[in-house]
A and B are shown apart, each in its own frame.
Chain A
Protein backbone atom coordinates (compact mmCIF):
# COMPACT_ATOMS: atom_id res chain seq x y z
CA UNK A 1 0.00 0.00 0.00
CA UNK A 2 2.62 2.49 1.12
CA UNK A 3 4.91 1.24 -1.61
CA UNK A 4 2.27 1.87 -4.28
CA UNK A 5 1.64 5.34 -2.90
CA UNK A 6 5.37 6.10 -2.95
CA UNK A 7 5.83 4.91 -6.51
CA UNK A 8 2.75 6.91 -7.58
CA UNK A 9 4.17 10.01 -5.90
CA UNK A 10 7.58 9.53 -7.47
CA UNK A 11 6.12 9.38 -10.95
CA UNK A 12 4.93 12.94 -10.55
CA UNK A 13 8.31 14.38 -9.61
CA UNK A 14 11.32 12.80 -11.27
CA UNK A 15 14.09 15.18 -10.31
CA UNK A 16 16.93 14.92 -12.75
CA UNK A 17 20.60 15.65 -12.54
CA UNK A 18 22.24 16.50 -15.79
CA UNK A 19 25.69 14.95 -16.18
CA UNK A 20 27.70 16.06 -19.23
CA UNK A 21 30.54 13.55 -19.48
CA UNK A 22 32.33 14.32 -22.72
CA UNK A 23 31.68 14.87 -26.37
CA UNK A 24 30.39 17.86 -28.25
CA UNK A 25 27.78 19.33 -25.81
CA UNK A 26 25.04 19.15 -28.43
CA UNK A 27 22.95 16.94 -26.14
CA UNK A 28 23.52 19.31 -23.22
CA UNK A 29 22.01 22.14 -25.21
CA UNK A 30 18.97 19.98 -25.97
CA UNK A 31 18.57 19.02 -22.29
CA UNK A 32 18.68 22.69 -21.30
CA UNK A 33 16.25 23.47 -24.12
CA UNK A 34 13.82 20.97 -22.59
CA UNK A 35 13.77 23.10 -19.41
CA UNK A 36 12.90 26.32 -21.24
CA UNK A 37 9.28 27.59 -21.45
CA UNK A 38 9.01 26.25 -25.00
CA UNK A 39 9.16 22.60 -23.88
CA UNK A 40 8.75 23.17 -20.13
CA UNK A 41 9.37 19.75 -18.60
CA UNK A 42 8.54 21.27 -15.20
CA UNK A 43 4.86 20.74 -16.01
CA UNK A 44 5.59 17.03 -15.48
CA UNK A 45 7.43 17.72 -12.24
CA UNK A 46 10.86 17.34 -13.77
CA UNK A 47 13.23 19.63 -11.92
CA UNK A 48 16.89 19.99 -12.61
CA UNK A 49 19.04 19.58 -9.52
CA UNK A 50 22.64 20.53 -9.02
CA UNK A 51 23.56 17.68 -6.72
CA UNK A 52 23.09 13.90 -7.06
CA UNK A 53 21.85 13.75 -3.45
CA UNK A 54 18.59 15.39 -4.50
CA UNK A 55 18.15 13.56 -7.80
CA UNK A 56 16.14 10.50 -8.86
CA UNK A 57 17.28 10.35 -12.45
CA UNK A 58 20.82 10.80 -13.74
CA UNK A 59 20.77 12.15 -17.30
CA UNK A 60 24.12 11.15 -18.76
CA UNK A 61 25.14 12.81 -22.03
CA UNK A 62 28.30 12.43 -24.06
CA UNK A 63 30.87 9.66 -24.20
CA UNK A 64 32.25 8.08 -21.04
CA UNK A 65 35.91 9.06 -20.89
CA UNK A 66 38.60 7.52 -18.68
CA UNK A 67 38.66 10.77 -16.68
CA UNK A 68 34.95 10.77 -15.85
CA UNK A 69 34.49 7.01 -15.33
CA UNK A 70 35.40 6.82 -11.64
CA UNK A 71 33.71 10.10 -10.83
CA UNK A 72 30.56 8.84 -12.54
CA UNK A 73 30.56 5.77 -10.30
CA UNK A 74 30.94 8.01 -7.25
CA UNK A 75 28.08 10.24 -8.36
CA UNK A 76 25.93 7.14 -8.87
CA UNK A 77 26.70 5.96 -5.33
CA UNK A 78 25.76 9.38 -3.94
CA UNK A 79 22.30 9.23 -5.53
CA UNK A 80 19.62 7.97 -3.12
CA UNK A 81 17.44 4.96 -3.99
CA UNK A 82 15.36 4.51 -6.11
CA UNK A 83 17.55 5.83 -8.89
CA UNK A 84 17.57 5.58 -12.63
CA UNK A 85 20.28 6.27 -15.15
CA UNK A 86 19.21 7.56 -18.57
CA UNK A 87 21.67 7.47 -21.46
CA UNK A 88 20.80 10.54 -23.52
CA UNK A 89 22.25 10.65 -27.02
CA UNK A 90 24.04 8.13 -29.17
CA UNK A 91 27.42 8.91 -27.57
CA UNK A 92 26.36 7.73 -24.14
CA UNK A 93 24.73 4.58 -25.49
CA UNK A 94 27.48 3.13 -27.68
CA UNK A 95 30.00 5.85 -28.44
CA UNK A 96 28.79 7.09 -31.83
CA UNK A 97 31.71 8.55 -33.81
CA UNK A 98 33.97 8.48 -30.74
CA UNK A 99 33.81 4.70 -30.39
CA UNK A 100 37.46 4.27 -31.46
CA UNK A 101 38.87 7.38 -29.78
CA UNK A 102 41.64 6.89 -27.24
CA UNK A 103 39.64 8.62 -24.52
CA UNK A 104 36.61 6.36 -24.84
CA UNK A 105 36.10 4.07 -21.84
CA UNK A 106 33.25 1.92 -23.08
CA UNK A 107 29.47 2.29 -23.38
CA UNK A 108 27.58 3.65 -20.39
CA UNK A 109 25.93 0.33 -19.53
CA UNK A 110 29.36 -1.23 -18.94
CA UNK A 111 29.92 1.37 -16.19
CA UNK A 112 26.46 1.86 -14.64
CA UNK A 113 23.15 -0.02 -14.84
CA UNK A 114 21.11 1.98 -17.37
CA UNK A 115 17.30 2.12 -17.25
CA UNK A 116 16.50 3.92 -20.50
CA UNK A 117 18.26 4.70 -23.74
CA UNK A 118 17.40 7.73 -25.88
CA UNK A 119 19.21 7.52 -29.24
CA UNK A 120 19.71 10.62 -31.35
CA UNK A 121 22.50 12.92 -32.35
CA UNK A 122 21.33 14.98 -30.55
CA UNK A 123 17.84 13.75 -29.57
CA UNK A 124 15.09 16.36 -29.69
CA UNK A 125 13.75 17.75 -26.40
CA UNK A 126 10.52 15.90 -27.24
CA UNK A 127 12.53 12.68 -27.28
CA UNK A 128 13.59 13.42 -23.68
CA UNK A 129 9.95 13.84 -22.64
CA UNK A 130 9.11 10.61 -24.48
CA UNK A 131 12.02 8.74 -22.88
CA UNK A 132 11.20 9.91 -19.36
CA UNK A 133 7.53 8.97 -19.79
CA UNK A 134 8.51 5.50 -21.03
CA UNK A 135 10.89 5.10 -18.08
CA UNK A 136 8.34 6.23 -15.47
CA UNK A 137 5.53 4.11 -16.90
CA UNK A 138 7.74 1.06 -16.51
CA UNK A 139 8.80 1.61 -12.89
Chain B
Protein backbone atom coordinates (compact mmCIF):
# COMPACT_ATOMS: atom_id res chain seq x y z
CA UNK B 1 0.00 0.00 0.00
CA UNK B 2 1.36 3.38 -0.93
CA UNK B 3 0.79 5.17 2.31
CA UNK B 4 2.68 8.36 1.48
CA UNK B 5 0.55 9.02 -1.61
CA UNK B 6 -2.65 8.73 0.38
CA UNK B 7 -1.36 10.96 3.18
CA UNK B 8 -0.22 13.51 0.61
CA UNK B 9 -3.63 13.45 -1.07
CA UNK B 10 -5.41 13.88 2.26
CA UNK B 11 -3.11 16.73 3.21
CA UNK B 12 -3.76 18.60 -0.03
CA UNK B 13 -7.50 18.08 0.39
CA UNK B 14 -7.36 20.03 3.64
CA UNK B 15 -4.67 22.48 2.59
CA UNK B 16 -4.62 22.84 -1.23
CA UNK B 17 -1.50 24.17 -2.89
CA UNK B 18 -3.43 26.28 -5.41
CA UNK B 19 -3.45 29.96 -4.54
CA UNK B 20 -6.72 31.61 -3.57
CA UNK B 21 -5.64 34.68 -5.50
CA UNK B 22 -8.73 36.43 -6.90
CA UNK B 23 -10.70 35.88 -3.68
CA UNK B 24 -7.86 36.60 -1.29
CA UNK B 25 -5.48 39.47 -2.08
CA UNK B 26 -1.97 38.34 -2.84
CA UNK B 27 1.09 39.97 -1.30
CA UNK B 28 4.28 39.57 -3.34
CA UNK B 29 7.39 38.40 -1.50
CA UNK B 30 9.93 40.81 -0.04
CA UNK B 31 12.08 42.44 -2.69
CA UNK B 32 9.55 42.04 -5.48
CA UNK B 33 9.96 44.84 -7.99
CA UNK B 34 6.50 46.09 -8.84
CA UNK B 35 5.23 49.28 -10.39
CA UNK B 36 7.28 52.39 -9.66
CA UNK B 37 5.38 55.31 -8.20
CA UNK B 38 6.20 58.94 -7.56
CA UNK B 39 5.86 60.76 -4.28
CA UNK B 40 4.56 64.13 -5.45
CA UNK B 41 5.57 65.84 -2.18
CA UNK B 42 9.21 64.83 -2.48
CA UNK B 43 9.74 65.08 -6.23
CA UNK B 44 11.58 68.27 -7.23
CA UNK B 45 11.44 67.62 -10.95
CA UNK B 46 15.18 67.36 -11.61
CA UNK B 47 14.70 64.61 -14.21
CA UNK B 48 17.52 62.37 -12.96
CA UNK B 49 15.25 59.33 -13.29
CA UNK B 50 14.61 60.04 -16.96
CA UNK B 51 18.34 60.23 -17.67
CA UNK B 52 19.21 56.84 -16.17
CA UNK B 53 16.14 54.91 -17.34
CA UNK B 54 17.57 52.17 -19.62
CA UNK B 55 14.45 51.70 -21.83
CA UNK B 56 13.66 55.45 -21.70
CA UNK B 57 10.29 54.80 -20.08
CA UNK B 58 10.51 58.03 -18.07
CA UNK B 59 10.16 61.22 -20.08
CA UNK B 60 9.19 64.74 -19.19
CA UNK B 61 7.48 67.56 -21.05
CA UNK B 62 7.86 71.21 -20.11
CA UNK B 63 4.89 73.52 -20.55
CA UNK B 64 3.39 75.57 -17.73
CA UNK B 65 4.40 72.70 -15.48
CA UNK B 66 6.94 69.93 -15.80
CA UNK B 67 5.06 66.69 -16.31
CA UNK B 68 7.20 63.62 -15.64
CA UNK B 69 5.63 60.54 -17.20
CA UNK B 70 6.48 56.90 -16.54
CA UNK B 71 5.16 54.58 -19.22
CA UNK B 72 4.61 51.08 -17.83
CA UNK B 73 4.58 49.70 -21.38
CA UNK B 74 8.26 50.59 -21.70
CA UNK B 75 9.31 50.04 -18.09
CA UNK B 76 11.46 46.98 -17.40
CA UNK B 77 11.04 47.32 -13.60
CA UNK B 78 14.82 47.42 -13.07
CA UNK B 79 14.75 49.95 -10.21
CA UNK B 80 17.47 52.26 -11.56
CA UNK B 81 15.23 55.29 -10.98
CA UNK B 82 14.80 54.37 -7.31
CA UNK B 83 18.57 53.92 -6.95
CA UNK B 84 19.48 57.21 -8.55
CA UNK B 85 16.78 59.56 -7.19
CA UNK B 86 18.59 62.07 -4.91
CA UNK B 87 15.31 63.00 -3.18
CA UNK B 88 13.94 59.48 -2.68
CA UNK B 89 10.82 60.52 -4.52
CA UNK B 90 10.32 57.40 -6.65
CA UNK B 91 9.84 53.95 -5.21
CA UNK B 92 9.12 50.51 -6.57
CA UNK B 93 5.93 49.40 -4.84
CA UNK B 94 4.65 45.83 -4.60
CA UNK B 95 1.77 46.52 -6.99
CA UNK B 96 1.45 44.00 -9.79
CA UNK B 97 -2.20 44.36 -10.88
CA UNK B 98 -1.38 46.79 -13.65
CA UNK B 99 -3.67 45.41 -16.35
CA UNK B 100 -5.51 48.14 -18.24
CA UNK B 101 -7.90 48.16 -21.18
CA UNK B 102 -6.56 51.31 -22.82
CA UNK B 103 -2.97 51.95 -23.79
CA UNK B 104 -2.96 55.51 -22.40
CA UNK B 105 -3.85 54.28 -18.91
CA UNK B 106 -0.65 52.25 -18.52
CA UNK B 107 1.32 55.12 -17.07
CA UNK B 108 1.89 57.19 -13.97
CA UNK B 109 3.37 60.60 -13.50
CA UNK B 110 3.87 63.68 -11.43
CA UNK B 111 3.41 67.40 -12.06
CA UNK B 112 6.04 69.81 -10.80
CA UNK B 113 5.39 73.55 -10.72
CA UNK B 114 7.74 75.94 -12.47
CA UNK B 115 9.51 79.05 -11.26
CA UNK B 116 8.74 82.19 -13.23
CA UNK B 117 11.54 84.26 -14.66
CA UNK B 118 11.73 87.56 -12.82
CA UNK B 119 12.10 89.48 -16.10
CA UNK B 120 9.89 87.90 -18.78
CA UNK B 121 7.54 86.00 -16.40
CA UNK B 122 7.93 82.81 -18.36
CA UNK B 123 8.21 79.56 -16.39
CA UNK B 124 11.67 78.09 -16.89
CA UNK B 125 12.88 75.99 -13.94
CA UNK B 126 11.21 73.59 -11.45
CA UNK B 127 10.60 75.66 -8.32
CA UNK B 128 10.96 72.81 -5.77
CA UNK B 129 14.40 72.09 -7.22
CA UNK B 130 15.38 75.74 -6.80
CA UNK B 131 14.22 75.69 -3.17
CA UNK B 132 16.09 72.48 -2.50
CA UNK B 133 19.28 73.84 -4.08
CA UNK B 134 19.13 77.03 -2.01
CA UNK B 135 18.54 74.91 1.09
CA UNK B 136 21.77 73.09 0.33
CA UNK B 137 23.93 76.20 -0.05
CA UNK B 138 22.34 78.25 2.76
CA UNK B 139 25.11 77.54 5.27
CA UNK B 140 27.94 78.49 2.93
CA UNK B 141 26.38 81.76 1.72
CA UNK B 142 28.27 83.93 4.23
CA UNK B 143 31.53 82.76 2.70
CA UNK B 144 30.61 84.50 -0.56
CA UNK B 145 29.27 87.67 1.13
CA UNK B 146 25.82 87.38 -0.42
CA UNK B 147 22.40 87.27 1.22
CA UNK B 148 19.80 84.68 0.40
CA UNK B 149 17.37 87.10 -1.25
CA UNK B 150 20.15 88.52 -3.37
CA UNK B 151 21.07 85.07 -4.57
CA UNK B 152 17.46 84.26 -5.44
CA UNK B 153 17.07 87.48 -7.42
CA UNK B 154 20.31 86.72 -9.26
CA UNK B 155 19.48 83.19 -10.30
CA UNK B 156 15.75 83.46 -10.98
CA UNK B 157 16.36 84.77 -14.49
CA UNK B 158 15.82 82.50 -17.45
CA UNK B 159 18.75 81.81 -19.80
CA UNK B 160 17.30 84.01 -22.56
CA UNK B 161 16.78 87.03 -20.31
CA UNK B 162 20.10 86.71 -18.57
CA UNK B 163 21.84 88.05 -21.68
CA UNK B 164 19.65 91.14 -21.96
CA UNK B 165 19.10 92.42 -18.42
CA UNK B 166 21.37 94.96 -16.82
CA UNK B 167 22.07 92.62 -13.91
CA UNK B 168 24.52 90.78 -16.10
CA UNK B 169 27.71 92.26 -14.54
CA UNK B 170 26.49 91.41 -11.04
CA UNK B 171 25.77 87.85 -12.04
CA UNK B 172 29.15 87.56 -13.66
CA UNK B 173 30.89 88.87 -10.58
CA UNK B 174 29.04 86.36 -8.44
CA UNK B 175 29.91 83.48 -10.73
CA UNK B 176 33.54 84.51 -10.71
CA UNK B 177 33.48 84.48 -6.92
CA UNK B 178 32.10 80.97 -6.99
CA UNK B 179 34.85 79.75 -9.28
CA UNK B 180 37.58 81.30 -7.16
A127 touches B98 (CB 8 A): yes
A123 touches B76 (CB 8 A): no
A116 touches B55 (CB 8 A): no
0/1 per residue, A25-58, Cβ < 8 Å to B?
0000000000001111001000000000000000
- Interface of B, secondary structure class, is loop
A135 touches B26 (CB 8 A): no
Interface residue B87 (Cβ < 8 Å from any Cβ of A): no
| Chain A minimum-CB-distance residue to B75 | A90
CB distance from A75 to the nearest CB of B (A): 21
0/1 per residue, A77-117, Cβ < 8 Å to B?
00000000000001001111101000000010100001111
A90 touches B73 (CB 8 A): yes
Number of interface residues of A (CB under 8 A): 33
Number of residue pairs A-B, CB distance < 8 angstroms: 98
B103 touches A90 (CB 8 A): no
Interface residue B17 (Cβ < 8 Å from any Cβ of A): yes
- Interface of A, secondary structure class, is mixed
0/1 per residue, B1-36, Cβ < 8 Å to A?
000000000000000011101100010100000010
CB distance from A132 to the nearest CB of B (A): 8
Contacts of A134 in B (CB 8 A): 99-101
Contacts of A118 in B (CB 8 A): 98-99
| Chain B minimum-CB-distance residue to A115 | B101
CB distance from B160 to the nearest CB of A (A): 33
Interface residue B56 (Cβ < 8 Å from any Cβ of A): yes
Contact residues, B147-173 vs A (CB, 8 A): none
Partner of B96, one of A43, A94, A123: A123
A107 touches B73 (CB 8 A): yes
Number of interface residues of B (CB under 8 A): 27
B19 touches A39 (CB 8 A): yes
0/1 per residue, A112-139, Cβ < 8 Å to B?
0011111111011011011101110010
Interface residue B74 (Cβ < 8 Å from any Cβ of A): yes
CB distance from B28 to the nearest CB of A (A): 7
CB distance from A19 to the nearest CB of B (A): 18
Interface residue B135 (Cβ < 8 Å from any Cβ of A): no
Contacts of A94 in B (CB 8 A): 71, 73-74
B22 touches A37 (CB 8 A): no
Contact residues, B81-123 vs A (CB, 8 A): 96-103, 106
With A116-B100, A117-B103, A134-B99 already in contact, the answer to whether A129 and B76 are too (CB < 8 A) is no
Partner of A93, one of B19, B35, B77, B106: B106
With A39-B18, A43-B18 already in contact, the answer to whether A124 and B96 are too (CB < 8 A) is yes
Contacts of B17 in A (CB 8 A): 37-38
- Ordered by A's residue number, 6 sampled pairs between the chains whose C-beta atoms are within 8 Å are A93-B72, A99-B56, A117-B101, A126-B21, A127-B97, A133-B22
A-binding residues in B (CB < 8 A): 17-19, 21-22, 26, 28, 35, 54-56, 71-77, 96-103, 106
